[in-house]
Every structure is written in C-alpha cells, then in structure tokens.
Amino acid sequence: MKDWGEPRFRARQIYEGLYKHGFDSFDSFTTLSKALRKKLAENFVIRRLRQVDSISSEKDGTRKFLWALGDAYKIESVIIYEGRRTTFCISSQVGCPLDCKFCATGKMGLLRNLTPGEITEQVFRMAEIIGSRPTNIVYMGMGEPMLNYEAVIAAARVLGDVDGFGLAPRRITISTSGIIPGIYRFADEGQPFSLAVSLNSVDDEVRKKIMPVSKKYPIEKLLQAARYYTEKSGRLITFEYVLLDKFNSTQQDARKLVRLTHSLKSKINVIPCNSDEELYRPPSEEKIAVFRESVNDRSRRITLRKRKGWEIQAACGQLYAENERRKKKPKN
Ligand code: SAH
Ligand code: SF4
C-alpha cells in the first residue's frame, strides 16, 4: 500500500477483509474505493482451495476433506466433534519426510511445504462449509510442522489474531514428532500456541524403528527439550501416544511412560493406531484398557483423552492414499 501511495491503514483493511471477514473477491472490500478494488483485482488473486473429496463418519460426524492446491498436489484436513469441542485438524506439508512406519502420510515422502495461505485456507474453507467456527485447531494433519516452521507460525498468527481469524492462540496446537531444535525455538520465541509431542514409545530402540526421526533426536534429549518448554512457557505440554500392537503397548511401557513424564507439566493422549496393516495395527481392546489403566493409576497429573473419531476414520494421509488408488485403478 505504501508503494501505491495509499495510507497505512489500507493494509489493515485488506488484512481484515481477507482474514476476519473471509472475503473471496475484491468486490467485497467495500471499505476501499472502487479504483483501489480494481487495482487489487488486476494485481492479485484470492486463491481458494478446491474441494476434491470429503467423507463423513456416520458414527460421530468426523469429516475429512481432500483439497487440490494450485499445482498438482492435494492435502487433507479433518473436523473432529467431541462434546462441545469442534477441532479442525490441518496439514502443514504435502506429505512428510519423516517416514514414521504407522503413518499414511509418511509413505508419501515430502512433496513440498505449504504456504501460510494454504494453511489458513483449510480453516476458512471448513468453517465456511460447516457454517461454524472451530473451538480448537491442531496441526495434526499431513506433515511435520516444525520442518515448515515459518509458514506454520505465520498461519497460526493469523488464526490466533483478534483482527484475523480470532481463535485464542492457546487453542491452536502445534504437534511435532520431536524435532528438538524446533521445540527450543518455539520456547525461546515465547510462542503463545500450545505444543504437543508425538512420543509413541519410551524405548529408544523401538522408537527408532517406528519413528526414524528418533535416530537423530533420542528420547532423553526430547524430554529435556519438553521440560525446557514447560519451564520457559509455564504451560503444559501434551504427549501423544499411538498404541501399536507388539511395539509399545505393554503394561511395562505404560509404567515407563508415567515414570519418564510424571515430573513434567504434561498430559497424555493415548490413541489406538487406526490403520489395520499386518505390522502396524492397534492392540486388542483388552490390552488398550490395561494400558490406559496403568497410565491412569499411577499419576493424577496425567489426564487421558481418547481422540474420538480418529480410530474409526482413516488417519491423515489415508484419504489421500485412497484417492490416489482410485485414480490408478484401470477403468473397464
Ligand atoms: N508430524 C506431526 C503432526 C502430524 S501427525 C507429528 O507427528 O506429531 C499427527 C498425529 O497423528 C501424530 O501424533 C501421529 O503419531 C498420529 N498418527 C499418525 N499415524 C497414525 C495412525 N495410523 N493411527 C493413529 N495416529 C496416527
Ligand atoms: Fe510425518 Fe507425523 Fe506422519 Fe511421522 S506421524 S510421518 S512426523 S506426519
């Protein structure tokens, strides 16, 4: 706006039009002069995500979306309803380079990072489609947010800004597989958003097998980083723990999990793996119950929350995979 000789506040009017009001055409910016609207339309486009596919769970309303980006790539987002909460689960990358063995997104490899606009758009589009706002946003879709740090934070700032999308920043959660430098950076910058770490195992050898990222960032160092964050921010940290049969779901694992995390200001989300592959599948209901109880019994500081809908619906990356499969199927 400065380059165009416009007053400073024009920039804010445009920002609010885009992010607070969600205008998708420059004609809607009625606070601006007609001439300026025209000039904007000549120089810029407001690009929206195109919906390619959407599936809903009849059981609990969980709804997944597949979006086409401006290029050939596609990404997923999910809406999860749980009591009074409506959680939007969004992607930060197309694919993911970290190759966790139980994760559908991991199989894609990294195709590219998302831009801040492509990240915020997932939220705007879903809010538009369901006609209501989320109570929470989690970066638990495709990708590793800490490997696209700048764009993820830029998008979160818009989503958590009163003149932007206007959700309280602590209701926006960044989830990481344990990229330690990212955790320190997040803590040192005093980011107002919440942080979750996908721990998924308390044994280095096992964790290395299911999450290759652990070779570079071992559990002890990861927990040190988590402690640094909780102490620096005064906030609690969430540990995600995906239960995988034969890997991480014994009573001993549960006890060790409590032992390693009980002195940290934290909560634990235990989530049964939702894929049903030969190697990576959830434990039996019985084992899940034992695990939950063993974690629960041993510390009051730890709350357990089952991520509803997650287990009956495909995890992020799976709708994408399904769509690719369908495309490849020969037509006859
Ligand atoms: N890359 C980040 C955020 C995206 S993955 C991370 O790993 O934290 C979001 C969450 O989905 C992680 O907690 C991951 O462990 C979990 N997840 C991946 N595949 C899953 C599966 N098949 N079943 C259940 N949870 C899964
Ligand atoms: Fe990437 Fe997270 Fe999937 Fe691991 S679990 S491959 S870090 S998206």
CB of 103 sitting under 6 A from ligand 2: yes
Ligand 2: atom nearest CA of 96 is 1
Distance CA 278, CA 82 (A): 30
Instruction: Report how far ligand 2's centroid is from the alpha carbon of 140 (Å).
Output: 9
CB of 96 sitting under 6 A from ligand 2: yes
The pLDDT value recorded for residue 329 is: 54
Is residue 100 annotated as a catalytic residue, yes or no? no
CB within 8 Å of 273: residues ≥ 6 apart: 102, 242, 243, 244, 245, 280, 281, 282
For residue 296, what pLDDT band results from cuts at 50, 70 and 90? confident
Report pLDDT digits (tens) over 208-262: 999 999 999 999 999 999 999 999 999 999 999 999 999 999 999 999 999 999 9
Give the residue whose CA is nearest to atom 12 of ligand 1: 198
Domains and CATH numbers, the chain: 1-46 (1.10.150.530), 48-328 (3.20.20.70)
Contact 270, 241 (CB under 8 A): yes
CB of 93 sitting under 6 A from ligand 2: no
CB of 94 sitting under 6 A from ligand 2: no
Distance CA 142, CA 132 (A): 23
Residues in contact with ligand 1 by the CB-under-6-Å rule are 96, 102-103, 139-140, 144, 175-177, 198, 200, 240, 242, 271, 273-275, 315
Contact 175, 78 (CB under 8 A): no
Q: Work out the burial of residue 185: count CB atoms within 10 Å of its CB; fewer than 13 is exposed, 13-18 middle, 19 or more buried.
A: middle
Pairing between strand 74-82 and 63-68? antiparallel
Q: Is the pTM of this model over 0.85?
A: yes
Is residue 96 annotated as a catalytic residue, yes or no? no
> Which listed residue (96, 100, 273, 316) is catalytic?
316
Report pLDDT digits (tens) over 111-133: 999 999 999 999 999 999 999 99
Distance CA 241, CA 232 (A): 24
